[in-house]
Amino acid sequence: MADFVFNIAKGRVAEFYNRVKSNDPANSALIVVVIDANGDTDATMRDRDDLAALLGGTANEVTNTNYARKTLTDADIAALSIDDTNDRVDLDIPDQTWTGVAAGTAWTDLLICYDPDTTGGTDSAIIPLTCHDFAVTPDGSDITAQIAAAGFFRAS
């Protein structure tokens, strides 16, 4: 589960997830971004309203060779499922793997973001949804972000 939900996304994570799954708008996607928080606290980061603002602080997107953002479209995620028995909604994404990530920047956090337009959008259009601690020191091997069985986010 998320370590925290960005203030801009509180009450909206399931909505954005469902928009991607419904392909509305057609070019929307969830974006997985890895950062080195570089001294930014969770309290500071959660106030950032878009990815450009977040990366404009002291947090930096990692630049290790073989790292790239992951784009998850409607085909990559399960349909939104309401759990009436437990009175909640769990959102899941597949585990994410980066192959042969070179040494360099240490990874501290994994972000799940919403991009309403992957064809022409910029970081200022990408809304950060959740932040997850993800402490990894790349060494040339594969890195897998294993998403919990309950998913990356729970609304209850």
Which stretches does DSSP call E strand in 7-91?
A: 29-36, 60-61, 70-72, 82-83, 88-91
Question: Is 139 domain-assigned?
Answer: yes
Which residue range forms the structural domain that includes residue 130? 4-150
Give the pLDDT confidence score for residue 1 in this predicted structure.
55
Structure token pair of residue 57: 């602080």
Total structural domains within the chain? 1
pTM over 0.75: yes
Question: Is 121 domain-assigned?
Answer: yes
Report the amino acid identity of residue 105. Answer: T
Give the pLDDT confidence score for residue 30 in this predicted structure.
98
Cα 97 to Cα 119: distance, rounded to the nearest angstrom: 23
Question: Is 155 domain-assigned?
Answer: no
pLDDT tens per residue, range 38-88: 878 999 999 999 999 999 988 999 999 999 999 999 999 999 999 999 999
SS3 label, residue 2: coil
Question: Is 28 domain-assigned?
Answer: yes
Question: Is 67 domain-assigned?
Answer: yes
Of the pLDDT bands very low, low, confident and very high (cuts 50, 70, 90), residue 4 is very high
Q: Are the C-beta atoms of 111 and 4 separated by less than 8 Å?
A: no
Bridge partners of 130, per DSSP, are 5, 112
Using alpha carbons, list the distances in angstroms from residue 147 to 45, 52, 94, 95: 21, 25, 7, 5
Question: Is 156 domain-assigned?
Answer: no
Structure token pair of residue 120: 């022409």
pLDDT tens per residue, range 74-113: 999 999 999 999 999 999 999 999 999 999 999 999 999 9
